[in-house]
């Protein structure tokens, strides 16, 4: 047992950290004294970004490239990203027409009504959240924890992602684009070996999905 | 004049009689022997005496008459003129009118000539004036400032009478406004002209003439004069023959008695002795003897008359010719014969014909005069119809001593007799300057009439320190201010004395102005338009080292409020005036003491009475003593200290307040008022009762008036800390005291405390109490305290006490404290209200009122003994850090913990050798 444990100590501990982080995030209760959005941002930054980076650098003593902060296979990344984005958009289109996604999904009013706010939302908030998610789920879980099992990594990261939302308040249509593209982002990350391409793909997908949504609405 | 003629007739008659008697009785001496006694020729004296006796003529009376007649020629009334001004106090720029009133002229005012002359400030006589002065004053353009310029200044104003000649063309003159003047007045046609000057000193009248120029043989530096030696009367007696015997002795000094004439080369005086004297008008020396003189001779043909009219350059006023040149000089209208529109022709106006009045715009320093030419009532000695033509000056000051050197005489045969006519060669213009009159002479224009009044009539001073004394209001008013009050400065002074005779040497008068200002009893006492002054009669018993009692007599003192008013003009003239008022005041520390009346049964009725001293209300502060808050349906007992007082008279709001033993209270007396009374409070909230009691001092009879005000309020209660060490009002912030009256505030910043929130530290006993308005309800009202809904009882001292323990987590807590109170009159008082004053029981109901407060309790930062608890310190620090920062810190710590734990686990699990080999 110990021998097995020793052999897989990295994976075990990393897994414990992942589960612990997700559990913390999922079970985290907001404080009344602090703005909820501020709380979400702080928690996300700490546990999606800083904790994986700190664990990788100081505990595992590995470079940040382990988390996917590397150039990777750029052509594969671009191609995979393009294909995945397209697939995602197609799936979104199906969602829009065959599910109540269109009626349930909404953007903040000011984002819908003001182009500058829309751009700010897409360029800052969506991009930022996508980055955090890519770092943790694709970088830390898929490329670092399951660096030797890419397929498993894609699946686990996607399941973890879905589980996080389930723990934090249930899956709602508001989160559909993120949930939809999670596995596709994993594919991009696995093919390119870098989270930069999966991040760009996620961001592009979310952006185009919002645009598509606005066009339909 | 008539008296002189009368005496002449009498003397003629007497002389005739005497002559006849002398002839008759002198020639028929023998025949008259039987008539006048036996034998001899009677003497003239005896004859005269017998005549006197026969005709009952008293010698002394005749002598007196003769003596008067001797000098009657010097007692004639010469013409005079007086000037009156309106207004009497002219201000710069104001129109002023001078009115001339001539007297003792034989012709009417309309026919005599008034030569006015006006001297402005800075236009004194000057033979070589500066160019500025010349521009200002030289009217005739001769380069000198003379009396002619003054005459021209006045004549222009008269002649043009406001006419604006700026657009007038003087190329031609078609109005025929010339006027031929006559000497002695306009009515003196075909009358011989004899012009005279009257000597006020001797009464002599000198004919203006160049004749009789006389040289008196006087040494250089002396002048010829008639001097009389002054004598002392040694004895005066009456002998048997009714003769008055006078003996005198000379003092050695002399006085001027007249001016000598030269007759037959001998100086002669009608009165006195010809002498050569230095400065004869003022000298008391008898000088040296004057024994010889020479005359140039002269005759009536040397006489002259000369008008004093102002002349245009190169022209003569009153010559009948008033051409364009003169029209232009006098600035009259060449197309209007009477530019002044007064019925006189322009030249007549310039000559001053009938110009009794002269109006001009007064300027500071202006002086004016008038010389009036007319015919006097004095006849000349010439054998014709002439009377003396004379000039009257505004101050009647034209002494012949100005030209005493030219005094002379000539002899004319009149009616067969040689008559000596005294003469003088004199320019009357030389008298004009000394006859200038200042319209403001006598200070009429400088005096401001200030009236000062005060109220009330018998103010009362409060020396007890309650500041409830009367306010004395002093008011000054001006009757003749020429400008608004904002240009008048008032300077007040307050003096105090025990006697009303402030100016008496026996009075001790103290100027208390600055002292009272320091005490805050007086406001500003100097300033423009400061017509009123208020003084609070709250003079303490001791002030500035002085005792008030030293200024009182039987409690009565006097204050004198004096004010000096001064009005300044831009020309530098200052008008001043002052006024004062004396105010009698009574000083007392007696006060109306208020009680919450108690009820007492009187048969089947309920009356009221004064309780003991424990029932005194509104006596805790000067504010309460000046204005006592009461509630409706209260019965207030009133009492003053009756020592030394009697004849009490009570009023409330000016209406008599009566109290009797029979109807109201056993403390009162039937038939008269005493020192006790009762006031039912029946009015609504806001009603004010001004109670006044007047009483007389039995020893001095002085009246003492005391007053006190009661105001009806809604009863209210406030929850206040009983001990501000344990609980205190919450500070809401600070405000800046703009009034400067809050002396307890540092740098003018005062703390603003909440009235509904208090603060306290946990672990202490919080002590609260109720504060009632009116304060006397504290003992009468029912109270119910709750803290967070839980009832809490008062302690015996009337406070509520509860403790708050320290919190487990150091968090603040809030406690709600409520106080419900109710108050109502006792049934006995309510019945008394009904029995005495008819107040229905349904109108005297209960009052309900309450107050609520919150107390924020927090754990103290510091322990009582001063030591610091580290945990609490950190907690206090933490409590002040923003929550977001703390949250972030906690999340980061959580992340670090997670990483640390994972690192710990990784370290715990040994590394596989295969893995380590692979790596």
Q: How far is B46 from B670, CA to CA, in rounded Å? A: 102
Q: Which of A5, A16, A46, A47 to mutate to test the interface with B (most CBs of B within 10 A)?
A: A46
Which of A2, A34, A51 comes nearest B898 by C-beta?
A51
Kindly report the nearest CA distance between residue A28 and chain B, in angstroms: 10
Which chain B residues contact residue A21 at CB under 8 A?
Answer: 898
State the Cα–Cα distance between residues B505 and B567, nearest whole angstrom. Answer: 32
Task: Tell if the CB–CB gap between A55 and B903 is shorter than 8 Å.
Answer: yes
Q: How far is B730 from chain A (nearest CA, A)?
A: 25
The pLDDT tens digits of the residues spanning B504-539 come to 665 578 899 999 999 999 999 999 999 999 999 999
Q: What are the boundaries of each domain within chain B?
A: 2-72, 80-190+304-375+390-395+428-435, 216-295, 454-588, 593-705, 716-858, 881-919
Query: Quick check: is A43 in a domain?
Result: no
Please report residues of B whose CB lies closer than 8 A to that of A34: 883-884, 887
- Residue B27 has a pLDDT of 47
ipTM for the predicted complex comes to 0.86
**What is the predicted pLDDT for the residue at B733?**
86
Q: Locate the DSSP E strands across B589-724.
A: 593-596, 598-602, 605-609, 616-617, 627-630, 635-639, 645-652, 655-656, 676-680, 688-697, 703-712, 716-721
**C-alpha pair distances (Å), B699 with each of B132, B558, B640, B645, B702:** 77, 19, 18, 9, 8
* Residue A144 included in any domain: yes
Distance CA B628, CA B650 (A): 18
Contact in structure between B472 and B583 (CB atoms under 8 Å):
yes
Averages of pLDDT over each 10 residues, chain B, 919 residues: 55 56 48 45 72 81 81 84 85 86 92 95 92 91 94 94 87 88 89 91 88 75 85 66 67 81 78 86 86 74 89 92 92 91 92 94 91 94 91 92 81 82 91 92 65 87 84 89 79 90 72 92 92 92 88 87 82 76 87 90 89 84 82 91 89 92 90 92 91 83 82 90 87 81 73 87 86 87 88 85 74 85 88 88 80 85 52 66 81 88 86 59
Cα–Cα distance between A160 and A52 in angstroms, integer? 15
Q: How far is A139 from chain B (nearest CA, A)?
A: 17
CATH class, range B454-588: mainly beta
Question: What pLDDT does residue B330 have?
Answer: 93
* Chain A residues whose C-beta sits inside 8 Å of any chain B C-beta: 2-3, 5-7, 9-10, 12-14, 16-17, 20-21, 24, 31, 33-35, 38-39, 42-43, 46-47, 50-51, 54-55, 58-60
CATH topology identical between B454-588 and B716-858: yes
Q: How many CB atoms lie within 10 A of CB B730?
A: 15
- A100 or A121, which is more confident? A121
Contact yes or no for A31 and B898 at CB 8 A: no
B903 with A6: Cβ contact below 8 A: no
Domain count, chain A: 1
The fold adopted by the segment(s) B716-858 is Immunoglobulin-like (2.60.40)
B7/A213 Cα distance (integer angstroms): 149
CA of A34 vs chain B CAs: smallest distance (Å)? 6
The answer to whether residue A153 is domain-embedded is: yes
Q: Cβ of A31 and B902 within 8 Å?
A: no
Contact B912 A13 (CB under 8 A): no
Question: How many C-alpha atoms does B288 have within 13 Å on its Cβ side?
Answer: 11
CB contact under 8 A, A17 and B898: yes
| Closest CA in chain B for residue A19 | B898
Contact of B635 with B692, CB cutoff 8 Å: no
Residues in chain B with CB shorter than 8 Å from the CB of A60 are 906
Asked, for residue A89, whether it belongs to a domain, the answer is: yes
Average pLDDT over residues A156-179: 79
| Structural domain harbouring A112 | 65-216
Rounded Cα distance between B390 and B72, Å, is 19
Q: Do the chains contact at A43 and B905, CB–CB below 8 Å?
A: no
The alpha-carbon gap from A113 to the nearest alpha carbon of chain B, in Å, equals: 30
Q: Considering only CB atoms, which chain A residues are within 8 Å of B902?
A: 13-14, 16-17, 20, 55, 59
* Residue A15 CB contacts under 8 Å (≥ 6 apart), including other chains: A145
Whose structure tokens read 């009948």? B320
As a three-state string, the secondary structure of A39-85 is HHHHHHHHHHHHHHHHHHHHHCCCCHHHHCCCCCCHHHHHHHHHHHH
Q: What is the pLDDT of residues B236-271, one digit of tens each?
A: 666 666 666 767 666 678 888 888 877 777 888 877
Q: Tell me if A38 and B884 make a contact (CB, 8 A cut-off).
A: yes
Helix (H, G, I), strand (E, B) or coil at B501: coil
Q: Indicate the DSSP class of residue A137.
A: I
Contact flag B909-A5 (C-beta cutoff 8 Å):
yes
Q: Which residues of B touch A54 (CB under 8 A)?
A: 895-896, 899
- Chain A nearest CA to B813, separation (Å): 18
The reply to whether A47 falls in a domain is: no
* Contacts with B883 from chain A: Cβ below 8 Å: 31, 33-34
B893 touches chain A (CB under 8 A): no
Q: Does B873 touch chain A (CB under 8 A)?
A: no
Q: Lowest-confidence range among A45-59, A200-214, B566-580, B765-779?
A: B566-580
Mind listing the pLDDT tens digit for each residue in B70-99?
Answer: 777 778 889 999 998 888 777 778 889 999
Which uninterrupted H or E stretch holds B226?
A: strand B223-238
The Cα diameter of chain B in Å comes to: 213
> How close, in Å, is residue B908 to chain A by CA atoms?
9
User: What pLDDT shows up at residue B498?
Assistant: 86
Whether residues A46 and B892 touch (CB distance < 8 A) is answered with: yes
Q: Do residues B199 and B400 lie in contact, with contact meaning Cβ atoms separated by under 8 Å?
A: yes
Q: Are B214 and B190 in contact (CB under 8 A)?
A: no
B559, two tokens: 């204050």
Contacts of B914 in chain A (CB under 8 A): 7
Kindly report the nearest CA distance between residue B917 and chain A, in angstroms.
Answer: 11
């Amino acid at each position: 047992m110990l021998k097995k444990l020793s052999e897989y100590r990295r994976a075990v501990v990393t897994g414990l950290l992942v589960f612990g982080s997700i559990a913390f995030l999922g079970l985290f209760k907001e404080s009344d004294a602090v703005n909820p959005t501020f709380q979400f941002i702080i928690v996300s930054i700490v546990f999606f970004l800083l904790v994986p980076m700190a664990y990788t650098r100081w505990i595992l003593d590995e470079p940040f490239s382990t988390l996917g902060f590397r150039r990777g296979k750029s052509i594969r990344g671009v191609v995979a990203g393009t294909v995945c984005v397209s697939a995602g958009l197609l799936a979104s289109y199906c969602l829009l027409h065959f599910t109540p996604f269109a009626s349930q999904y909404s953007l903040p009013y000011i984002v819908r009504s003001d182009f500058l706010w829309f751009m700010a939302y897409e360029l800052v908030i969506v991009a930022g959240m996508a980055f955090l998610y890519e770092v943790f789920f694709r970088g830390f879980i898929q490329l670092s924890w399951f660096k030797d099992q890419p397929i498993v990594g894609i699946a686990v990261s996607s399941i973890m992602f879905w589980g996080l939302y389930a723990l934090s308040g249930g899956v709602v249509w508001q989160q559909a684009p993120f949930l939809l593209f999670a596995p596709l982002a994993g594919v991009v990350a696995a093919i390119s070996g870098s989270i930069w391409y999966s991040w760009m793909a996620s961001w592009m997908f979310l952006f185009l999905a919002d645009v598509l949504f606005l066009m339909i609405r | 004049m008539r008296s002189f003629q009368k005496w002449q007739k009498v003397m003629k008659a007497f002389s005739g009689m005497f002559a006849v008697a002398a002839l008759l009785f002198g020639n028929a001496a023998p025949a008259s022997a039987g008539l006048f006694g036996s034998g001899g020729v009677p003497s003239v004296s005896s004859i005269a005496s017998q005549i006197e006796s026969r005709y009952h003529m008293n010698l002394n009376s005749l002598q007196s008459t003769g003596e008067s007649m001797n000098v009657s020629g010097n007692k004639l009334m010469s013409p005079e003129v007086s000037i009156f001004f309106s207004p009497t106090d002219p201000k710069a720029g104001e129109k002023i009118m001078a009115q001339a009133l001539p007297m003792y002229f034989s012709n009417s005012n309309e026919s005599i000539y008034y030569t006015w002359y006006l001297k402005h400030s800075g236009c004194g006589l000057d033979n070589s004036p500066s160019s500025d002065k010349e521009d200002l004053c030289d009217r005739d353009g001769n380069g000198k400032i003379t009396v002619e310029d003054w005459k021209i200044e006045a004549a222009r104003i008269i002649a043009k009478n406001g006419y604006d000649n700026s657009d007038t063309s003087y190329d031609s003159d078609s109005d025929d406004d010339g006027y031929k003047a006559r000497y002695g007045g306009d009515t003196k046609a075909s009358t011989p002209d004899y012009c005279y000057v009257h000597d006020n000193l001797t009464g002599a009248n000198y004919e203006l003439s160049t004749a009789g120029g006389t040289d008196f043989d006087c040494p250089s530096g002396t002048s010829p004069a008639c001097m009389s030696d002054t004598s002392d009367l040694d004895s005066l007696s009456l002998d048997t023959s009714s003769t008055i015997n006078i003996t005198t002795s000379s003092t050695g000094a002399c006085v001027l008695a007249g001016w000598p004439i030269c007759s037959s080369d001998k100086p002669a005086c009608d009165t006195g002795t010809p002498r050569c004297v230095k400065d004869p008008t003022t000298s008391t020396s008898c000088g040296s003897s004057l024994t010889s003189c020479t005359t140039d001779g002269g005759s009536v043909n040397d006489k002259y008359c000369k008008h004093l009219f102002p002349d245009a350059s190169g022209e003569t006023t009153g010559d009948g010719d008033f051409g364009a040149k003169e029209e232009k000089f006098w600035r009259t209208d060449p197309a209007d014969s009477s530019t002044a529109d007064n019925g006189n022709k322009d030249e007549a106006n310039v000559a001053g014909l009938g110009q009794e009045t002269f109006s001009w715009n007064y300027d500071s320093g202006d002086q004016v005069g008038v010389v009036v030419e007319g015919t006097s009532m004095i006849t000349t000695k010439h054998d014709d119809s002439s009377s003396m033509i004379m000039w009257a000056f505004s101050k009647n000051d034209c002494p012949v001593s100005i030209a005493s050197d030219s005094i002379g005489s000539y002899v004319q045969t009149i009616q067969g007799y040689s008559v000596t006519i005294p003469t003088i060669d004199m320019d009357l213009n030389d008298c004009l300057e000394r006859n200038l009159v200042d319209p403001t002479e006598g200070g009429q224009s400088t005096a401001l009439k200030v009236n000062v009044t005060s109220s009330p009539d018998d103010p009362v001073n409060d020396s007890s320190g309650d500041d409830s004394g009367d306010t004395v209001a002093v008011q000054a008013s001006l009757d003749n201010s020429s400008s608004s009050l904002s240009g008048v400065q008032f300077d007040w002074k307050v003096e105090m004395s025990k006697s009303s005779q402030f100016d008496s040497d026996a009075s001790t008068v103290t100027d208390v102005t600055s002292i009272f200002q320091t005490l805050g009893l007086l406001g500003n006492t100097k300033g423009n338009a400061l017509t009123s002054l208020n003084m609070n009669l709250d003079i303490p018993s001791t002030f500035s080292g002085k005792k008030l009692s030293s200024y009182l007599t039987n409690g009565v003192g006097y204050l004198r409020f004096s004010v000096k008013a001064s009005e300044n003009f831009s020309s530098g003239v200052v008008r001043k005036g002052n006024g004062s008022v004396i105010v009698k005041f009574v000083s007392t520390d007696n006060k109306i003491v208020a009680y919450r009346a108690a009820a007492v049964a009187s048969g089947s009725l309920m009356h009221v009475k004064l309780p003991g001293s424990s029932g005194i209300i509104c006596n805790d502060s000067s504010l309460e003593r000046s204005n006592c808050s009461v509630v409706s349906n209260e019965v207030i007992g009133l009492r003053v200290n009756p020592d030394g007082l009697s004849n009490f008279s009570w009023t409330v709001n000016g209406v008599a307040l009566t109290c009797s033993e029979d109807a109201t209270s056993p403390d009162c007396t039937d038939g008269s008022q005493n020192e006790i009374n009762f006031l039912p409070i029946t009015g609504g909230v806001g009603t004010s009762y001004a109670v006044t009691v007047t009483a007389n001092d039995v020893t001095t009879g002085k009246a003492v008036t005391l007053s006190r005000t009661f105001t009806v309020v809604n009863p209210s209660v406030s929850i206040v800390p009983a001990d501000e060490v344990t609980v205190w009002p919450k500070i809401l912030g600070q405000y800046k005291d703009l009034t400067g009256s809050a002396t307890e505030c540092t740098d003018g910043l005062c703390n603003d405390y909440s009235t509904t929130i208090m603060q306290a530290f946990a672990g202490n006993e919080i002590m609260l109490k109720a504060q009632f308005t009116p304060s006397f309800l504290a003992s009468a009202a029912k109270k119910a305290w709750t803290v967070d809904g839980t009832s809490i009882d008062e302690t015996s001292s009337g406070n509520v006490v509860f403790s708050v323990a320290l919190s487990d987590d150091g968090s603040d807590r809030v406690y709600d404290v409520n106080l419900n109170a109710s108050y109502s009159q006792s049934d006995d008082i309510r019945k008394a209200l009904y029995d005495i004053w008819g107040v229905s029981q349904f109108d005297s109901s209960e009052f309900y009122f309450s107050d609520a407060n919150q107390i924020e309790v927090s754990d103290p930062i510091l322990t009582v003994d001063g030591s610091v608890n580290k945990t609490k310190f950190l907690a206090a620090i933490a409590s002040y850090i923003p929550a977001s920062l703390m949250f972030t810190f906690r999340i980061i710590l959580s992340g670090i913990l997670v990483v640390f734990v994972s690192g710990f686990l990784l370290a715990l699990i040994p590394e596989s050798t295969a893995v380590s080999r692979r790596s």
